[in-house]
Amino acid sequence: MSGSNYLVFRVAGRLKRLYAWVVHWAETPYGATALFLLAFAESSFFPIPPDVLLIALALSVPARAFWFATVSSAGSVLGGMFGYFLGLQFMERIGYPLLQLYGALDTFAAVQELYQRYEAWAVGIAGFTPIPYKVFTIAAGAFQVHFGVFVLASLLSRSARFFLIALLLYYYGEPIKEFIERYFNLLSLLFVALLVLGFLLIKWVL
């Protein structure tokens, strides 16, 4: 196995273990609190999106799916505001190291161009797609985009994403639960692949 392939498998293994750690909170009394903190952290520095814990919680208690979506939305928007603050006040000390950690430094100019073209509404691209949301929140602060529009775009895009997941799980929870249980290992690998794809998109496409 080449060095690059070994590194990919090593990173994928770590992400999968981190994913399992995130999901396990659904089996504790602190699931909603963990979901809020995860959504907050993912918007500025944490690699695992809150969708995975949202899905686990909504499957365990379908009647509360929309409440969990609300918790995810609130945590994500507040976390996005924190990411904005990091980019605005601590870009050199914190922002750039975080972007370097996720291999997004080369795309910084491309993200700036998106903000120049679409202003803070560009955050909606990341808010509803696999593209890492944290890159856009930090960049928004660094480029001093309009804060009010940034918050509104974050609220609309992140809420739409999380409530769509909640809607599907509320109406189709049991069949989806059976599917996930049957193909859990395959879905875990797919999740890791999508996560890596998101970082590749931010690096090579934008």
DSSP character for 30? T
d(CA 162, CA 43): 14
What average pLDDT is seen over the chain?
Answer: 77
3-state SS track over 147-194: HHHHHHHHHHHHHHHHHHHHHHHHHHHHHHHHHHHHCHHHHHHHHHHH
- pTM for the whole thing? 0.76
Q: Kindly give, in sequence order, each residue whose CB lies less than 8 Å from that of residue 181, ignoring residues fewer than 6 positions away.
A: none
Mean pLDDT of 27-34: 87
Count: domains in the chain? 1
Please tell me which of 28-32, 60-64, 66-70, 141-145 the model is most confident about, judged by mean pLDDT: 66-70
Q: Containing domain of residue 43, as a range?
A: 3-205
Q: What does 72-110 look like in DSSP terms, one character per residue?
A: HHHHHHHHHHHHHHHHHH-IIIIIHHHHHHTT-GGGHHH
Q: Is 136 exposed, middle or buried (0-12, 13-18, 19+ CB in 10 A)?
A: buried
- Place 6 in a pLDDT band, splitting at 50, 70 and 90: very low
Q: Is pLDDT of 11 > 50?
A: no
d(CA 42, CA 51): 10
Q: What pLDDT digit, counting tens, does each position of 148-196 carry?
A: 989 998 998 899 889 988 888 888 876 776 666 566 556 655 655 665 5
Q: What pLDDT digit, counting tens, does each position of 32-69 carry?
A: 999 999 999 988 888 778 888 888 888 888 889 999 99
Cα–Cα distances in angstroms (integers) from residue 34 to residues 10, 12, 161, in the given order: 26, 23, 19
Q: Which one has a higher pLDDT value, 132 or 190?
A: 132
Q: How many residues does the chain have?
A: 206
And the tokens for 150?
């940034």
